[in-house]
Homo-oligomer: A and B are copies of this chain.
């Protein structure tokens, strides 16, 4: 296979030594263990990706596409070894069309770099997942972030994709029209499919106007239920929020310690207001009324842009802050999402469960969408702590699914959530998904072991490598 790949890409685009491969075997952001791939290849064009996939598919070799590797559920690990296709060298912004409010980029473009290029046009790309993520990876995972309550998730922000199928076929999933009902919606099928149906090499995405004004306020609450009730009331009031982020007491402690804030040790909600000055003032007045009605202790505007950015940056690095509180432990991330009215019950239930646990749990969430992350600090080498971390996750997922919610709002399935899908969808819906997978990737070449339970693995997969994740 390495010989074949050498015929497709140059020597500098191939990595085959153990020391270079080792980092690709780990998931840096989760406790999902792994083994390195046999080879990493850095294509620079869709044509190269096509040739690579055709060769791997013919040989029965597993292919795992990778952007920046910032995903959180082991999406880019290589449990069956094989070929890791690292798309980070395909990082060209192909075209920005301000009047169409869209742009075309290669898969390896990072969202923060993209936004820097868009700012002179008064535009931005609205998704804000973990720092460093690439657009291709964001399409794979179906990411969202703090802005999703305002602009929708990744699926709502992609117009069309260039995708390489398992056998090397290149397809474009749609036009640049902002609406279409022509054909089946392949764009939405590939977005969030985690590289199991095809490898995204190019994306055409919708852009948004930079808001005329952005204002950020922080409200404190006596307990988690009051905070989540206030969020529910805010959403129900009809205010079109820019972002609504809830941090529990432990998370506020971590933000204080790691980012130099001094918030009181109670749950807080960060509100972002965007729009014209008149709209921002009007929205803020309505939100303040909701906060007062739900026992809010305090409501403070961040005075200027620097303070706003510092606060939002602190929110952005919440996961790192939680991890930094106890460097002897790792952090397991969770990601449930429930119908809006169930959020207070979910938060209270998990806080109760966590209080009875020896492990420390931090909560932060995009709660305007009913989406929350709990960070569970644990020692992966301590079997008891590992078991307890998994039990906390199991409890949270079962609680959310019992509320007609989902096991993952935005982090995706990877290897970490595969076991929860049956309970969420039932076997018949999973059979439909497996039928789609088999139709598009009959040999199981693409990202085996991820996204769905019970799919085929390719013939030359290194079964011995697929240790428990």
A410→B179 CA distance, assembly (Å): 7
Contact of A182 with B408 in the complex, beta carbons under 8 Å? yes
Contact of A181 with B141 in the complex, beta carbons under 8 Å? yes
8 A Cβ contacts from A43-65 to B: none
Note all chain B residues with C-beta closer than 8 A to A278: 276, 278-279, 281-282
Interface string of A390-428 (1 = CB under 8 A from B): 000000000011001111111111000100110011101
Contact of B182 with A209 in the complex, beta carbons under 8 Å? no
Given contacts A189-B188, A238-B209, contact A371 B171 (CB under 8 A): no
Contact of A404 with B370 in the complex, beta carbons under 8 Å? no
A369 at the interface (CB under 8 A from B): yes
A130 at the interface (CB under 8 A from B): no
Contact of B424 with A178 in the complex, beta carbons under 8 Å? no
Contact of A339 among B171, B176, B421 (CB under 8 A): B176
| A141 closest partner in B (C-beta) | B181
Greatest chain B CB density within 10 A among A182, A186, A451 is at: A182
A91→B374 CA distance, assembly (Å): 41
Contact of B182 with A406 in the complex, beta carbons under 8 Å? yes
Contact of B435 with A439 in the complex, beta carbons under 8 Å? yes
Q: Number of contacting residues on A, CB 8 A?
A: 96
| A368 closest partner in B (C-beta) | B178
Contact of A185 among B122, B155, B439 (CB under 8 A): B155
Interface string of A134-173 (1 = CB under 8 A from B): 0000000111100010001101100000000100011111
Contact of B142 with A152 in the complex, beta carbons under 8 Å? no
Known: A183-B433, A186-B429, A240-B275. 13 other contacts (CB 8 A): A101-B236, A169-B428, A169-B431, A170-B428, A171-B429, A177-B370, A178-B339, A179-B410, A180-B408, A184-B192, A435-B439, A435-B440, A436-B440
Interface residues in chain A, defined as those with a beta carbon under 8 Å from any beta carbon in chain B? 97-102, 122, 141-144, 148, 152-153, 155-156, 165, 169-186, 188-189, 191-193, 197, 209, 212, 232, 235-236, 238, 240, 275-276, 278-279, 281-283, 337-342, 369-371, 400-401, 404-413, 417, 420-421, 424-426, 428-433, 435-440, 451-452
Question: Can you list the 4 inter-chain pairs with the closest CB atoms, starting with the nearest?
Answer: A188-B188, A99-B341, A209-B238, A278-B278
